[in-house]
Amino acid sequence: MPDFARAQLRRQRINFALFLGPALVLLAVFFVAPVIIDVVLAFTDMGRTLAVGKFTLENFERMVTRDTRLLGALGITFIFVVTTLGVFNVTFALLLALVTTAVPQRLGAFFRAVWLLPRMSPSVVYALLWLWVVDPNERGLLNQIVVHVFDMPPIDLRNNHPLLVIILANGFIGASLGMLIFTSAIRSIPEHLFHAARVDGAGSLAIVRHVTLPALRWPISYMTIHQSLSLLVSFEYILLITGGGPFYDTTVFSLYAYRRAFESGEYAYGAALSLILVVIGVVAALALWRLMDMKRLLQPPRIEVH
């Protein structure tokens, strides 16, 4: 091999290590390693002392034969993910994007910023605000309205409708991401299409239906997949607001796994439960990918519009 070719190859390798290296290390340490550790742990008997005594299938046997809470946790997770996603993270986000792009630009930007505020505040602060909103006493924000405006007795949402509380809390914060993505997608629709539609006599709703929505197909598909996976594993606000309760009413699967691992000290069992969550996540992602025909999104465009 001539010298310059060898030098070029070396340079390529150095560039590869330089540019892709950090990303690969990051992936390996934070994404690949935890999955491998989780898989290994799931087949051990690691308990409170973190000691591994033997490799075993007992965790999975327990899941199938003894764990009476498992199905309940799965059911709650399903309701939580589908409702939060369907009502807030996609539909409400879309509504926000449509409305804030229809009003004058500055006003739209202002409202989007308001909706982004919860994202900017620390989760504990956001959760504390919710705790105050749904406080069962008359001092709670919601109850101040219920009691003084509607003249009704105070309500206790956290105890009587805990699932609703966690869906609202997750939804209001979750809608902002979709709002941003959809807004930028709407902005990228060529202006002349709107003018043309107007000339053809289309009303505002018809424009949304026939011009805007078709252009949002891919962003909506992407948000659906991304947010369902994200909701599947998130329990931060649930832990802070209801603690998974009352009883097990808001214990979603990921929180259930966390509880078993870190509150009962059954680390191996928690790892086995998390492994199930990984499997559910992968299956859901593949199914949605197929269902929404995401493959087409990644194909090179056949026509280029200038």
Judged by the rule CB under 8 A, the positions of this chain that interact with other proteins are: 48-51, 62, 66-69, 136, 156, 158-159, 242-243, 245-249, 262-266
**Preceding omega of 246 cis (within 30 degrees of 0):** yes
Give least dist CB 67 to other proteins, A: 6
Q: Which is nearer to other proteins, 30 or 247 (CB)?
A: 247
Give least dist CB 127 to other proteins, A: 13
Q: Which is nearer to other proteins, 38 or 156 (CB)?
A: 156
Q: Which is nearer to other proteins, 18 or 50 (CB)?
A: 50
Q: Cite the DSSP H helix spans in 66-212.
A: 70-83, 93-102, 105-120, 123-133, 141-148, 157-160, 162-187, 191-199, 204-207
Closest to 74 measured CA to CA, from 287, 259, 273? 273
Give least dist CB 251 to other proteins, A: 10
Q: Which is nearer to other proteins, 219 or 270 (CB)?
A: 270
Give least dist CB 47 to other proteins, A: 9
Give least dist CB 163 to other proteins, A: 13
The amino acid at residue 134 is V
d(CA 149, CA 235): 34
Q: Cite the DSSP H helix spans in 242-266.
A: 253-258
Q: Which is nearer to other proteins, 159 or 230 (CB)?
A: 159
Check the CA dihedral 198-202-205-209 and report its sign: negative
